[in-house]
């Protein structure tokens, strides 16, 4: 009887060992790998991405490589199959209008962080105050279009404004000799002004009748069709990371510092904390959106001839992975 018990116990141990071995093999076989290509250099605005790589990627068995962007590095020209990128939402729609085949899978900023700053002594507090002033226009990105929409929504006579091409250089702007208004990101350049204790006014389009989405995550149509498991893992990872970075900003910036040692940890913490409101998502759920707002945005893009044909949002947007993430929670 005792020998039978020992034999039975040995079989159980062997079966358990085999099961554990199989589970380990399955886990290893499901190891995923991808690259996320950013649309700008490492700043506090990319705290969630750094946090994702540092603290959450192993949870989803995902090996994540992050490549910073910058001038001359366009993710829409660099992202291939089984890769992801960040870009302004309208830039993805424009790329598709020109023949691209990209799909937006998560919205990072429901409202664009584009804004227009002026030194306090210029007394520019409303869009109407821009009349008679010199306004800087960036030669790239979405701020130029957002500026035009803001003027129209607030009945501003654009012919009464002097406009000039500028670059993201606050030194020229602060000299006061070039232009009165500088296009900026609400959670970036304003932090630099705060640090220098410079008084300023901000025109924030989202508070002035402009509904325009900001940065998003995108990938290729082929990736979604052939590797949905990777897409789901990426979205799960980023949704987790954004949510936790909102709750733990200091920890998220420590991860950014680890990823990019040259960043100023104190400054970038201020950047992230100032931007948190923009990252909370539609109805307080990071990465989420609603379809109606995209229809409004496409209408604006059509009106200003930024795209030639109406975007097929059924093809350009796929929030099913985000929906699945929240359903599972």
List pLDDT tens digits, range 45-92: 999 999 999 999 999 999 999 999 998 899 999 999 999 999 999 999
Phi, psi of 141 (to 5 degrees): 80, -165
The reply to whether 218 falls in a domain is yes
CA distances for 282 relative to 88, 146, 213, 277, 297, angstroms: 17, 20, 11, 11, 15
Q: What is the pLDDT of residues 1-25, one digit of tens each?
A: 444 433 334 433 344 444 444 433 3
* Residues 108 and 214 sit within 8 Å (Cβ to Cβ): yes
The predicted pLDDT at position 284 comes to 96
What is the DSSP code (8-state) at residue 240? H
Q: Specify the 3-state DSSP secondary structure of 163.
A: strand
Q: Which of 165, 187, 207 is the last residue of a domain?
A: 207
Please count the CA atoms within 13 angstroms of the CA of 61 that sit on its side-chain side: 12
User: Per DSSP, what are the bridge partners of residue 118?
Assistant: 181, 201
Domain final residue pick, 207, 227, 261: 207
Contact call for residues 172 and 166 (beta carbons, < 8 A) = yes
Would you say residue 257 lies in a domain?
Answer: yes
> Residue 232 sits in which domain range?
31-111+213-328
Q: How many domains does the chain have?
A: 2
Q: Is 71 helix (H, G, I), strand (E, B) or coil?
A: coil
Query: Model confidence at 109, in pLDDT bands (50, 70, 90)?
Result: very high
Let me know whether 193 and 49 are in one domain.
Answer: no
Among 165, 183, 207, identify where a domain stops. 207
- Computed over every residue of the chain, the mean pLDDT equals 92
CATH number for the domain spanning 83: value is: 3.40.190.10
**Are 211 and 114 within 8 A, CB to CB?**
no
* CA gap 326, 322 in Å, rounded: 6
For 27, the enclosing helix (H) or strand (E) is helix 2-29
Residue 209 is given by DSSP the state T
Reduce the DSSP state of residue 118 to 3 states and report it. Answer: strand
Burial of 6 (0-12, 13-18, 19+ CB in 10 A): exposed
pTM across the whole model = 0.90
């Amino acid at each position: 009887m005792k020998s039978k018990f020992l034999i039975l116990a040995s079989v159980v141990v062997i079966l358990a060992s085999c099961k554990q071995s199989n589970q380990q093999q399955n886990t290893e076989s499901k190891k995923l790998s991808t690259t996320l290509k950013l649309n700008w250099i490492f700043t506090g605005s990319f705290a969630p991405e750094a946090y994702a790589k540092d603290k959450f990627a192993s949870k989803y068995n995902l090996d994540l490589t992050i490549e910073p962007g910058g001038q001359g590095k366009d993710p829409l020209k660099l992202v291939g199959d089984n890769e992801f990128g960040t870009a302004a939402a309208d830039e993805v729609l424009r790329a598709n209008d020109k023949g691209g085949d990209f799909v937006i899978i998560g919205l990072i900023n429901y409202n664009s962080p584009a804004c227009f700053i002026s030194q306090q002594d210029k007394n520019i507090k409303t869009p109407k105050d821009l009349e008679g002033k010199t306004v800087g226009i960036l030669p790239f990105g979405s701020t130029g279009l957002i500026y035009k929409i803001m003027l129209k929504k607030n009945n501003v006579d654009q012919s009464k404004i002097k406009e000039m091409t500028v670059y993201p250089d606050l030194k020229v702007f602060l000299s006061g000799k070039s232009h009165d208004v500088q296009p900026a990101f609400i959670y970036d350049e304003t932090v630099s002004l705060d640090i220098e204790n410079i008084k300023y006014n901000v025109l924030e389009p989202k508070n002035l009748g402009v509904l325009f989405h900001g940065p998003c995550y995108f990938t290729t149509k082929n990736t979604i069709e052939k590797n949905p498991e990777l897409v789901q893992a990426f979205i799960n990872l980023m949704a987790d990371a954004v949510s936790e970075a909102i709750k733990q900003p200091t920890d998220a910036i420590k991860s950014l510092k680890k990823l990019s040692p040259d960043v100023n940890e104190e400054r970038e913490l201020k950047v992230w904390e100032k931007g948190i409101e923009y990252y909370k998502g539609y109805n307080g759920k990071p990465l989420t959106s609603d379809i109606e707002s995209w229809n409004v945005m496409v209408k604006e893009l059509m009106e200003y001839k930024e795209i030639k044909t109406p975007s097929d949002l059924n093809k350009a947007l796929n929030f099913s992975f985000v929906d699945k993430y929240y359903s599972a929670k």
